[in-house]
Amino acid sequence: MLRRREYLEPAVMILAGVLAVILIGFVAYRIGDGEPEAAVTAGPAAPAEQVPIPLLSVAASPSVAPIDAIVYERVAIADTVDLEAEGTIDWVHWGEDGRYSLERKPDGGFSILEGTPSGPRNRHTLSPQRFRWAGVPGATSGISTCGAGNGFTLSAPAGPGKHTLRLYVGATGARGTLTAGLSTDTDSRATITDSWTVEGTGMQTTAYVISYRASGTGKISVKWITAAAFDGTCGGISLQAASLS
């Protein structure tokens, strides 16, 4: 019995080796010269997901200003401005009922205040945009002044929260200069200045979007002044509306 096992074990090992070689050959045949498996045809690559390009809004707020700082943009104005929707804290429109009239948010707490007028003050109805509030679907009125050095001053409250003041202005044959200064009860101050020129005799308009934050209770003071007049008849700047949010 022991002698038979000595002959069988080598035979089994040899047979296993032969079967392994045959199996490897068969697999190689199937992969190579044998019947190929059905090929998978890839369709066109799926397009990469397209990211929409952000579009600048004509009345977009600028980036949030750092503490005790002012950030501003000068932007185009929409055809119609809804002052009630925009001025969540307060809004003011000038000149609908006369050169000294102010139409404003009933519960705005007089947050936006106008300073003492300087120089001539006229009412106009030349705004290419319309301003809307309850009972008035679209006013084109405002106030204007003539001559270098004349203009308007405004103020609004400041505090630790972000505020955005939108100022709707115009110019006719003049260069207007806007200056805004931020002051607080800790005497921290920031100032920005911008000039805008209209050489033609027709009124053109623009909006200043002013974002600011203060370290304490304070205010922002804004001056919109005629820096130079090119029209000897009545070159100057105009003021239509303002909103605070």
| Stated pTM of the model | 0.74
Identify whether the C-beta of residue 119 lies closer than 8 Å to the C-beta of residue 152: no
Segment 111-170, tens digit of pLDDT: 999 998 778 999 999 999 999 999 999 999 999 999 999 999 999 999 999 999 999 999
Alpha-carbon distance of 87 to 148, in angstroms, equals: 31
pLDDT of residue 232: 85
Q: How far apart are CA 140 and CA 190, in angstroms?
A: 33
- Amino acid at the residue 162: K
Confidence band of 242 (pLDDT split at 50, 70, 90): very high
Helix (H), strand (E) at residue 157: strand 151-158
Residues 3-27 as b or e (16 or more Cβ within 10 Å = b): eeeeeeeeeeeeeeeeeeeeeeeee
103: tokens are: 């139409």
Q: Are 138 and 103 in contact (CB under 8 A)?
A: no
- 70 beta partners: 212
